[in-house]
Amino acid sequence: MGSHVNKMIDPVLSQSQFVRGMWMWNTASLFNSPEQINLFRTESERMNITDVYVYIAPTWWLTRGPEIADLTSALHVGGTRVWALDGDADYIDVPTATATLKQSIYDLVVFNELANPDAQFYGYQGGRFHNGIAESRLDADQRLSRDTLLRQWVDTLSWTSELVRANDMQFGAALPFWLHDYEGEPLTIPVTPSDDRVCVMDFLMPILDQYVVMSYNTDPAIAASLVVQQAAYASQQLQEGQNMPSVLGAVEVGTGVGSGVSYGDTLGKASRAVVLKDIEVITQSLSMYPAFRGMAIHHWQAWNELAS
């Protein structure tokens, strides 16, 4: 892929400004809807949204390009950084789905090359992860199966990172909080023929520009504790001169997720004011770590339905 003909708008946050991200999955409802766009922009300005992660279905690059450009241009007003968002577990190990992901990113690159600077995407965010049981409880076959799947997952994120970064965009991922501590053990992958292993979190950090921890908990102290390991590790590596991503925590506000996990399901917590207050508490408690850069909210449609 070639370099951009037009230089994209690249809003740079000051070192003292924390990121406040918002996931947007209901993108189609904002296409050709000035009312919905204005609603988002008004609320975005009120709550200081800096980054918005906009779901783009793979087929939309070819079928809804003008609508995407109109939307991103509108969302950029005020300096908001707009990321393309996609995430499908099949991308890891289903060949046809993996091909779809690659083509989608190629289409994103072409979109950015052809779009006016105010319509270009700042970055791409993925969100694919593996689940399972503690490594020490796996038999040999289960361990091999786990290693294979994790290797495929890491490889998918690695080549996605290379492709996105090579085309002047940032690469981020929304990741579970337990990669360094799953069932009391780090989730690891072999990195040498002799089976030397490294924690998946340590492996992923250098290939990301933004590492969003899904620290979903309505107790600010617990939520902050789910981000400490990632923020501390990245900060230490930064001090040693390594390239590390910005580390973000995240809150869930949708319903049907679970009490204590989502603000939308938790008695006494289901309001925007409470969420924003707790976000400030979490941010302040983690601000001692240089790599920690803010919080993200999942997600816009649920936020819009949450009481003020």
Per-residue pLDDT for 52 more than 90? yes
Mean pLDDT of 258-268: 98
Please, what's the b/e burial string for 82-107 (b: 16 or more CB within 10 A of its CB; e: otherwise)?
bbbbbbbeebbeeeeebebbbebbeb
Q: What global pTM score does this model have?
A: 0.92
Task: State the amino acid at position 39 in one-letter form.
Answer: L
Mean pLDDT of 283-304: 98
pLDDT for res 207: 97
Q: Which of 54-68, 84-98, 252-266 has the lowest mean pLDDT?
A: 84-98
Per-residue pLDDT for 68 more than 90? yes
Task: Categorize the per-residue pLDDT at 50 as very low, low, confident or very high, splitting at 50, 70 and 90.
Answer: very high
Q: What are phi and psi of 24, to 5 degrees?
A: -130, 105
Query: Distance between CA atoms of 237 and 206, rounded to whole angstroms?
Result: 10
Query: Distance between CA atoms of 191 and 91, rounded to whole angstroms?
Result: 22
pLDDT tens, position by position, 89-102: 677 677 788 899 99
Assigned CATH for 19-305: 3.20.20.80
- Residue 124 contacts by C-beta under 8 Å, 6 or more apart in sequence? 83, 84, 85, 86, 105, 108, 160, 164, 169, 170, 171, 172
Query: CB count, 10 Å around CB of 131?
Result: 10
Nearest of 291, 98, 284, 135 to residue 208 by alpha carbon: 291
**What's the mean pLDDT when you consider all of the chain?**
91
Per-residue pLDDT for 8 more than 80? no
Per-residue pLDDT for 150 more than 70? yes
